[in-house]
Each structure stands twice: as C-alpha cells, then as structure tokens.
Amino acid sequence: MSPPAQPYTLELTSPAVLRLESLLRDSIALRVLNIPEPPCREPINQAAARLAILFSGGLDCTVLARLVHDILPLHEPVDLLNVAFENPRIHKANRGTGEQDHDLYGECPDRVTGRASWAELRTVCPGRDWKFVAINVPFLETTEHREQVIALMHPHNTEMDLSIAYALYFAARGQGYLLPSSPVLEKVLYTTSARVLLSGLGADELFAGYQRHATAFNRNSFKGLLDELDLDIGRLGKRNLGRDDRVISHWGREARYPYLDENLLTWALAAPVHEKCGFGDVLVPGVEASESIEPGKKVLRCLAWKLGMQRAAKEKKRAIQFGARTAKMETGKTKGTQLLSPRER
C-alpha cells in the first residue's frame, strides 16, 4: 500500500476501478445467487424477497444494490431496509424552533439519502421491484429493547457500540412500511421475508472512507494514512464483525459482507493506496467526476459514477449512528467511547 512515486489521479477508466468492479461482481454473485426461498411464502400474487440490503442510501450499500441488479434475475424483488429513530433530544430541539410539523422519521439523514438513492436506483435500474422498507423506531420501543441489545452486543460495552447495535438490530428485524413509488399510493405494513442481508461493512476500512483517514493524511501525508488504514483493518473483526453478526442473527437472518470477500481483500490490501483513495490526487479540470467527488473511497466513488449512480458517488460519509439518529438520544454530552453504566450492563 505504498504512496505514489509521481502524481496520480483516479479516473472512471483507471485499472483499479475496473478491477474493483470485477472483484465486487464476483463477490456479490457468490453471496446472492442460489439463496433458498423464504420459509414462509407471500400470497401467490406477491413475490417474496430472498435478499435484502441494509440500506442507508450511502455510497457503499448503493453500489451493492446497483451491482445486485446486474446479477439477480429481473423478477427477483430486493428489499431495501432503511431505519430511522425517534431521537427525543433532536425532537425537543426542533420543537424549540416553534415549528410544529416535523416529520420525525422523514427528516432523519439516512431516510433522506435512502429515498434519494432509491429514486436513483429506480431510474438507472428500471424493471426491478425495489421495495423500500421504512423502519421507524419510536424512542419507547428503543428503550424496551435496550437490555436485549446490550446482551447481544456483549462484550462490547460503549455508547457507540450501543447506538450502532440499535440501528442494526431494528433494521435486521425488517418490520416497517413499504414506501409507495407514487404519491397517490398509501404506505403498506411490511415485514421482509429475506433471510440474507447484504452489508457494506469494510468499504470504509479498505478505501479510506472515515474522516480520521483524511485527518491522518493532512497531519502526516501518506505515512499517516497508511498507519491508520492498517489499524482499521487489523481490528475490524474484533471491533465490528462479532457484534454485528450477533445483533443481526438474533432475528434469524444472516449478514453477508461483499467488501470482505477474500479475493477482494487480497487485492485491496496489496494495491497502492493511491489506487484506492484520492488523497493527494491532481484534479483534472473540466472532468466532472474528478472535480465533484471527494477523495475518501475515491475508487468506489468512481465505480458508482461509472455505473450511473452519480448522486451516490458524491454522497458524503456519515456514521450509521448519526444517520439513523441513534446517537446521543437523551443528552448531547455523551461520548461514543463512554462505557455503559452498570445499570445498563
């Protein structure tokens, strides 16, 4: 993962972009083809989804959805599981502005980006039944499940772990409303029948998608960035995978991680860092893709742009706990690294 010896710019036709596309297609095909039918079939006039995607509308999951469309037969529906929480702290702040008609769930950042990416998918990939499952979680329901979620994520025991686990727990439950594709239609109660869920976990760690990667580069150039990436990859299993698997599998569903495919990982870990992200890139004047997408995960952003998902390619990184609003539900002074109190454990 050495730094470039001379100026380098990732473009849509760069070999790294094409290689990532090939590896990711193979990875997704391995994980979505030949999924058994759900144990409980829907009424005969409705096709039951075998596959769902944990879908915030961000770059990582939207690229997965876009490639799934090319791989799955067109008659197969795909459920997009999008979770939003009632956050009493934010709700209180909104009430303080004097505005009365706040859509608690519709205004969640992940709901906004989710709907935008859903619309882009329907435009770029017509003919597919993309079912947008809006999972709205009231604060009371969150607190009712707190003990269960804490038990599932054990031995992880920080506020950040809990806020991430909440989002995955309720998303994996898969109960919500089907958003209508037309304003004249009504929302319909829905529970996903999918037993396999795709997750975008791993893209940030492989392709430098976190803000701390930009900070490391700004502080210590490529050496700082490489050190941070090595740290993230080394702790991914301990920090994320066990917790996420336990929380998701509670509902009898299996998470699959296309970005963590062995062949894709082998390539990404061996590739020079400048073939994965755009820190230090020389921008190409007049080339929209070069000028309008940020450097974090640039190889993946270029792939999204190449696949027609230009809105998703420009989407900024946002942590799940802030996008779904599970972070700092009761007080804004809580830090993510703070340990849960003994009462909560």
Query: Domain for residue 226, yes or no?
Result: no
| 330 vs 114, more confident | 114
Render pLDDT for 13-53 as a digit per residue (tens, 0 to 9).
999 999 999 999 999 999 999 999 877 655 544 678 999 99
Spacing of C-alpha 39 from chain mean position: 27
On the question of pLDDT at 345 being above 50, the answer is: no
Residue 80 above 80 pLDDT?
yes
* CATH code of the domain in which 252 resides: 3.40.50.620
pLDDT, greater one: 276 or 40: 276
155 is in which domain, residue-wise? 15-206+237-262+319-323
Q: Is residue 96 part of a domain?
A: yes
Q: Which pLDDT score is estimated for 330?
A: 60
Which is higher by pLDDT, 318 or 216?
216
**What is the separation of C-alpha 130 from the centre of its chain, rounded to a whole number of angstroms?**
17
Taking the C-alpha atoms of residue 190 and residue 285, their distance in angstroms, rounded to an integer, is 47
> Distance between CA 264 and CA 270 in Å, rounded?
10
Cα pseudo-dihedral 45, 49, 54, 56, rounded to 10: -30
pLDDT of residue 233 exceeding 90? yes
Domain contains 122? yes
**In this predicted model, which residue has the larger pLDDT, 200 or 323?**
200
Residue 318 has pLDDT above 80, yes or no: no
Asked if the model's pLDDT at residue 209 lies above 80, the reply is yes
Residue 44: inside a domain: yes
Burial of 110 from C-beta contacts in 10 A (0-12 / 13-18 / 19+): buried
**From residue 176, how far is each of 80, 132, 157, 296, 316 by CA, in Å?**
11, 9, 28, 32, 26
Question: 343 in a domain, yes or no?
Answer: no
Confidence of residue 328 (pLDDT cuts 50, 70, 90): low
236 confidence band (pLDDT: 50, 70, 90): very high
What was the pLDDT predicted at 286? 52
pLDDT above 60: residue 138: yes
Decide: 113 and 62 in contact? Cβ < 8 Å.
no
Residue 289 domain flag: no
- Could you give the number of structural domains in the chain? 1
Within-domain flag for 282: no
Mean pLDDT of 76-87: 95
The pLDDT assigned to 68 comes to 99
Q: What DSSP assignment string belongs to 160-220?
A: HHHHHHHHHHHHHH-EEEEPPSSTTSPPEEEE---SEEE--TTHHHHHT-SHHHHHHHHHH
The encoded tokens of residue 65 equal: 């959805």
Instruction: Work out the mean pLDDT of the chain and round it to a whole number.
Output: 87
Q: Each residue of 92-130: pLDDT tens digit?
A: 656 555 555 568 898 899 999 999 999 999 999 999 999
Residue 24 belongs to some domain of the structure: yes
Q: C-alpha distances in angstroms, 170 versus 24, 302, 326, 336?
A: 27, 32, 11, 20
Give the residue-averaged pLDDT of 183-189: 79
Q: Is the pLDDT confidence value at 336 over 60?
A: no
Higher pLDDT, 262 or 44: 262
First to last CA, the chain: 40
